[in-house]
């Protein structure tokens, strides 16, 4: 049964007006963590560059309202971005309506002048009046921002931003986990200067493109090629890159990253003290919620107290290097990978590509989401529990197993150092590009039975 989305009911309205003749925007918030709803304000202060910050948030809103895999004229239910407040940083995040584009605005102490009053992760009321408020900020103006309300002398100059009820979709939680796993595996490709970036993005088509293109960087130019070339970056749905064009005149540089399997592409826009990250799935009809990337390391059956302990460690550290945390906590890297994947799969961890470190997202710790959001994981556990997996051979070269499928067909699974293979239709269609099939996952779980956790 499909797990329901969590419904957010904002307790007040977002407000745009002035405090002591200064423009101010106080964003209503609502958190899935009940105690956070009693917090009047998470952050209160100013952007050091209000115009640039506002333009980044407008682009985030545009991304959330974009849908690239939906027929024209079909209305989709829009979602509000979420914001993580912690470690003296604000991180605004959201997905396109089709779930194939992820965007995040990272702001640290250098881009903010204010007080971090409470750590948390919350939805923020982000509709048309909110976006108009950001659009009204001039180049030399300052904007006071509150994630919640702190002041009582607030004067409303424009209409209150209408209260509404929204939900944090489960596909966003799944998408957050898969994006984090892709980001942590990505490698830096190259950086374009401002002029190079403007010249390149002018060549990006604005209308939908079905075939893949390849992004090629040569000594003095960057261009799109319909043919694969050495060290080129594969781009599916290349017209989606046009999202970035409106902010290019403000950038200092633009960096590109890709994963080894060419299943996603990341672009970081460097804007003074602000970074805006975009991650694109490998195709228009590939949403991040269905990737199954988090499943690759979830083959150990770990005790709940291990997962609870890792959750507390991550929450305490806020921002951390997972390898260093494993060494300090005296756990193996294999267990660390499994714990990171588990926490990521329920939306608790993100990854900072620039700093090469994880950050903790303060969503509720709900282990039941692990099963409800990952049916392949649950189905693989059932295969092990029902003893549907028979290991025919196991040696230094690899493992050969037979797995009885739910359709009554027995599938052959081969696991070796080169590749995991299965005779099922999922593997035939996707190989290992969308996570492990339930049969390979089940075999790996069985191999991990009775193993040492440390």
Beta strands in 177-323 (DSSP E): 187-193, 213-218, 221-225, 233-235, 253-258, 264-271, 274-281, 319-320
Q: Give the residue-averaged pLDDT of 32-59.
A: 83
Predicted confidence (pLDDT) per residue in 128-167, tens digit: 777 888 888 899 888 888 887 654 333 334 444 444 445 5
Report the relative pairing of strands 15-19 and 155-156 from DSSP bridges.
antiparallel
pLDDT band at 374; cut points 50, 70, 90: confident
* Average pLDDT of the chain, as a whole number: 83
Task: Outline where DSSP puts E strands in 313-448.
Answer: 319-320, 349-352, 357-360, 389-395, 398-404, 410-416, 420-422
Position 59 scores a pLDDT of 95
Per-residue confidence (pLDDT) for residue 400, from 0 to 100: 94
Give CA–CA dist 198/196, Å, rounded.
Answer: 6
Task: Give the burial class of 290: count Cβ atoms within 10 A of its Cβ; 0-12 exposed, 13-18 middle, 19 or more buried.
Answer: middle
* Position 292 pLDDT exceeds 90: no
Q: What is the mean pLDDT of residues 185-190?
A: 94
Which segments within 169-260 are labelled E, that is strand? Answer: 187-193, 213-218, 221-225, 233-235, 253-258
CATH code, 176-285:
3.10.150
Question: Which residue spans of the chain are classified as CATH 3.10.150?
Answer: 6-167, 176-285
Segment 169-193 shows an average pLDDT of: 89
Out of 77-86, 260-269, 324-333, 403-412, pick the least confident.
Answer: 77-86
Give the percent of the chain with pLDDT over 70: 84
Give the per-residue pLDDT at 161. 47
Among 241-245, 270-274, 356-360, 370-374, the least confident range: 370-374
End-to-end alpha carbon distance in the chain: 35
Of 405, 395, 386, nearest in space to 446 by CA: 386
**What is the mean pLDDT of the segment spanning 253-277?**
94
Residues facing 144 on adjacent strands: 24, 46
pLDDT at 304: 80
Classify 6-167 by CATH class.
Answer: alpha beta
């Amino acid at each position: 049964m499909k797990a329901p989305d969590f419904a957010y009911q904002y307790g007040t309205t977002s407000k745009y007006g002035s405090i002591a003749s200064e423009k101010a925007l106080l964003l209503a918030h609502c958190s899935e963590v009940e105690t956070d709803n009693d917090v009047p304000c998470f952050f209160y202060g100013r952007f050091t560059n209000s115009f640039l910050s506002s333009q980044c948030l407008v682009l985030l809103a545009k991304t959330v309202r974009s849908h690239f895999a939906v027929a024209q004229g079909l209305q989709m239910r829009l979602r509000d971005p979420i914001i993580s407040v912690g470690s003296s940083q604000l991180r605004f995040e959201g997905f396109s309506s089709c779930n194939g584009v992820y965007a995040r605005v990272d702001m640290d102490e250098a881009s903010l002048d204010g007080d971090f009053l409470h750590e948390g992760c919350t939805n923020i009321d982000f509709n048309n009046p909110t976006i108009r408020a950001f659009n009204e900020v001039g180049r030399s103006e300052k904007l006071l921002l509150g994630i919640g309300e702190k002041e009582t002398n607030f004067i409303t100059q424009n209409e209150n931003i209408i209260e509404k009820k929204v939900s944090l979709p489960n596909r966003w939680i799944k998408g957050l986990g898969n994006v984090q796993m892709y980001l942590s595996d990505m490698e830096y490709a190259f950086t374009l200067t401002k002029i190079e970036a403007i010249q390149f993005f002018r060549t990006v088509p604005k209308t939908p493109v079905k075939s893949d293109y390849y992004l090629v960087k040569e000594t003095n130019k960057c261009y799109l090629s319909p043919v694969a070339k050495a060290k080129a970056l594969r781009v599916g749905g290349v017209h989606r890159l046009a999202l970035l064009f409106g902010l290019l005149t403000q950038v200092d540089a633009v960096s590109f990253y890709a994963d080894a399997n060419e299943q996603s592409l990341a672009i970081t826009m460097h804007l003074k003290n602000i970074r805006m990250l975009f991650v694109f799935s490998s195709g228009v009809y590939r949403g991040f919620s269905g990737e199954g990337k988090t499943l690759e390391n979830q083959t150990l059956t770990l005790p709940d107290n291990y997962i609870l302990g890792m959750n507390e460690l991550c929450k305490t550290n806020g921002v951390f290097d997972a390898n260093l945390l494993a060494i300090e906590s005296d756990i193996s890297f294999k267990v660390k990978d499994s714990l990171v994947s588990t926490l990521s799969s329920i939306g608790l961890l993100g990854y900072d590509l620039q700093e090469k470190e994880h950050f903790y997202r303060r969503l509720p710790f709900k282990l039941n989401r692990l099963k409800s959001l990952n049916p392949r994981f649950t189905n693989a556990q059932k295969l092990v529990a029902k003893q549907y997996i028979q290991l025919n051979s196991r040696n230094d070269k690899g493992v050969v197993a037979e797995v009885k499928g739910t359709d009554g067909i027995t599938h052959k699974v081969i696991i070796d150092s080169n590749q995991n293979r299965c005779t099922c239709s999922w593997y035939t269609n996707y190989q290992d590009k969308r996570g492990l099939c339930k049969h390979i996952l089940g075999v790996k779980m069985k191999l991990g039975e009775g193993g040492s956790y440390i």
